[in-house]
Structure 1
Amino acid sequence: MPFSTHCLRHRPTTIYLLCFFLSFAPLPAIDRLPDEQHRNGKDTLEAFEESSKAGLGSTVRLVRNGRSLAMGTIVSKQGHVITKASVCIGAQEAILADGTKYKVRIRGRDKETDLALLKIKGAEDLTPISWADEENPAEGSWLVAADPTLKRLKVGVVGAKSRPIDRVGGVIGVILGRDGEELGGVMIERVMPRSAGAAAGLENGDVITTVDRQKVTSREKTIELVGANDPGEVVAIQVKRGEKTLSFRVTLGHRSVTFEQFDRNARMSGRVSKRKDNFPMIIQHDVSLPPTAMGGAVLNLNGKALGVNVARVDRVTTYALPAKYVREIFEKLRRPKPKSE
């Protein structure tokens, strides 16, 4: 019987056998891009030499008791440094890329942008960052930022259009259940582990009756009253626990820390910034940086700073505050405070 006729009469079996044997056929070798040509490889980084000099020469590492807290961007020859306010608390030293160490003191903080101004003691003729004129870099534009070691740069691109980031209020860290006038409040179905509520002593089954002395009988009202406060602020919570009425003072936590521990993508992202919301405007990019790199500048290919990094959001997203806002805050915080009468 001719082979073609055999195939027609036994087509399914023939096809399956052919597929089986073909699946084990050797595949052609695929060329692999050399390591030095990867995004953060040696050859790629050499193309950003001008940015490297600017980024590393105008960046410091802020340290407390030998531990890195954040990075800072030098904004004046006299040693003024802009950094992320919420993570630089207690900074004692600024370390330059060449290893030189200086004592630092804080000059002021800006709550809206989460920036702080520090002053390096005894420093003269430092190299301040040079600001870019462009306010809204195009999506896909190349960017660089200093690695926390101050030994090299990291490379990335602008990931989205510049935009404001809405405020997210503080949270108790509980899942709310039944509510209503008949219940007399709002029941706590679950207290999240390591949350503000757990730290304060709230328990599953507690019925919240007041928030900051305001009566609550609905989940919506409870969320509204709590969310009107920022992370770190304290709210007074009254609950019914069985026959008892108990009062608690709860220091609110960050939503990202409290609930994203149960989010798979967030867990894959590793450590992120606690404060990553409520910014007047941001540049979103994908330079791979840890939270301790916040406060450092992000630069274009010409070595000009487009802004200062203020939040690691996840493994592929970092927010930078545009240069326009950074410069405004610098001028605001450097002005002498009026003497109290």
Structure 2
Amino acid sequence: MDASARASRTPLLRHVVLTVLLVCCTALTAGCEGAGAPSARRHDTATAAASPATVPMAAGDLQSAYQRVIKQALPSVVQIEASRDLGSGIVYDDRGHIVTNAHVVGDEKTFRVTTAGNEEPLTASLVYSYPQQDLAVIKLDRVPDGLRPAVFGDSEKVEVGQIVLAMGSPLGLSSSVTQGIVSATGRTVSEGSADGGTGATIANMVQTSAAINPGNSGGALVNLDGQVIGIPTLAAADPSLGNAAAGIGFAIPASMARTIAGQIVREGRVVDSGRAALGITGRTVVDDRLQPAGVAIATIQSGGPAARAGLRTGDIITRVDRQSITTITSLQEALASSQPGRRTTVTYQRDGTERTAEVTLGEQ
């Protein structure tokens, strides 16, 4: 990974495309915490007189909407405890499957889950973890009465400015809710891989101003229709200050979460990721000024996309289509924004000579 991308178990620091660090939102269980003028004046007076009656009604409507959504969606959000970490999850179906972040489950296989209708934690087991998209599914060993699956929305319909609520267990405070808006869509974000980070590069993430804190990971970002539109995963941090940058959080889009979780529930694994790949492993190389200058191919998959296009071990990739490649992170970002089966131009250096190859991308 890029040397600027750092991570620790809790909170985990992340590197985002916009050059801010990201805090992965898990929490340590031990630390949970003229003639016209008169009429114009009359118009202004009438408006002012109407305001006291209109504004409280609007505020009341919004409050009622918040309360309705919370009542509808919050029972589908659970708290997940691993041996060291604490996070959140979303009830996927009535058979006890729960979707969460891969970094919440880590390398563990069993968990304690507290649902909305049970004071005592239930036990759950890992079904499958897919770190490439930072998603995982666990399953309750016993399905309690009244378990309520969440309703997942269409990520393509998410718009900037929409009011959203983030639900989860920040700092171990279960069933907590914060509010904000969708600040942006289509963000590509890269996580660090040290000390428990997944190293994932995730495309099309939803940026939100709703507070995302340690323990929110794996929870729900919900619209005012009560639909889950994303899974809160990361919060930005200011590298110069070393603390969270308020109002900048990122959620995995609901459509991607539903696609990946659905495959895990049906197949026990991910069979169609939709993520483009070159079929290589690589490492960042530096130039004479010790600046990142490309990605050297360390290993290459026999018969894979890069191999079929004539690339070899030792070649240094410097561009994918029009996107400059200086680090392994920038290569991951370029691939995350593409699709399997797409034909793309890869520029690389071999023995000091620049060359190009047409590569049909495979699937990760």
Q: Please give the TM-score of this superposition, normalised by the length of structure 1.
A: 0.52
1:97 is aligned to 116
Structure with bigger RCO (C-alpha 8 Å, 6+ apart) = 1
**Does the alignment pair 1:61 with 2:79?**
yes
CA, structure 1 residues 276+317, in 2 after alignment: closer, same or farther (shift >3 Å)? farther
Do 1:136 and 1:283's aligned partners in 2 also have CA atoms closer than 8 Å? no
**Does the alignment pair 1:328 with 2:259?**
yes
Do 1:106 and 1:117's aligned partners in 2 also have CA atoms closer than 8 Å? yes
2:224 is aligned to 301
Q: Whole-Å Cα distance in 1 between the matches of residues 116 and 64 of structure 2? A: 18
2:247 is aligned to 316
1:119 is aligned to 139
Do 2:132 and 2:199's aligned partners in 1 also have CA atoms closer than 8 Å? no
2:93 is aligned to 76
Q: Whole-Å Cα distance in 2 between the matches of residues 327 and 85 of structure 1? A: 14
Alignment of 1:1-341 (within 5 A): 46-64=64-82, 69-89=86-106, 90=108, 92-98=111-117, 99-124=119-144, 125-148=146-169, 149-160=173-184, 162-165=185-188, 167=190, 231-232=193-194, 278-314=201-237, 315-337=246-268
Give ranges in structure 1 of 5+ residues lacking alignment: 1-36, 171-230, 233-252, 255-273
- Residue 69 of structure 1 and its aligned partner are, at CA, apart by 1.2
Do 2:217 and 2:233's aligned partners in 1 also have CA atoms closer than 8 Å? yes
Q: Whole-Å Cα distance in 1 between the matches of residues 175 and 97 of structure 2? A: 22
Give ranges in structure 2 of 5+ residues lacking alignment: 1-54, 238-245, 270-364
RMSD of aligned Cα (Å)? 2.9
CA, structure 1 residues 144+79, in 2 after alignment: closer, same or farther (shift >3 Å)? same
Q: Whole-Å Cα distance in 2 between the matches of residues 113 and 43 of structure 1? A: 37
Q: Whole-Å Cα distance in 1 between the matches of residues 217 and 175 of structure 2? A: 16
What secondary structure, in the 3-state scheme, does the structure 1 residue paired with 2:132 have?
Answer: coil
User: How many residues of Structure 1 are paired with residues of Structure 2 in the alignment?
Assistant: 197
What secondary structure, in the 3-state scheme, does the structure 2 residue paired with 1:127 have?
Answer: coil
Identity %: 22
- Residue 147 of structure 1 and its aligned partner are, at CA, apart by 4.3
Over alpha carbons, which structure has the higher Rg?
A: 1
Q: Whole-Å Cα distance in 1 between the matches of residues 93 and 218 of structure 2? A: 15
- Residue 317 of structure 1 and its aligned partner are, at CA, apart by 1.2
Do 2:212 and 2:234's aligned partners in 1 also have CA atoms closer than 8 Å? no
- Residue 164 of structure 1 and its aligned partner are, at CA, apart by 4.2
Cα deviation, 1:86-133, whole Å, max 9, x if unaligned, reads: 122335210012424210100001122100100011114510001123
Q: Please give the TM-score of this superposition, normalised by the length of structure 2.
A: 0.49
Do 1:275 and 1:311's aligned partners in 2 also have CA atoms closer than 8 Å? no
CA, structure 1 residues 302+320, in 2 after alignment: closer, same or farther (shift >3 Å)? same
Structure 1 segments of 4 or more deviating over 4 A? 41-46, 274-277
CA, structure 1 residues 114+151, in 2 after alignment: closer, same or farther (shift >3 Å)? closer
More strand by share: 2
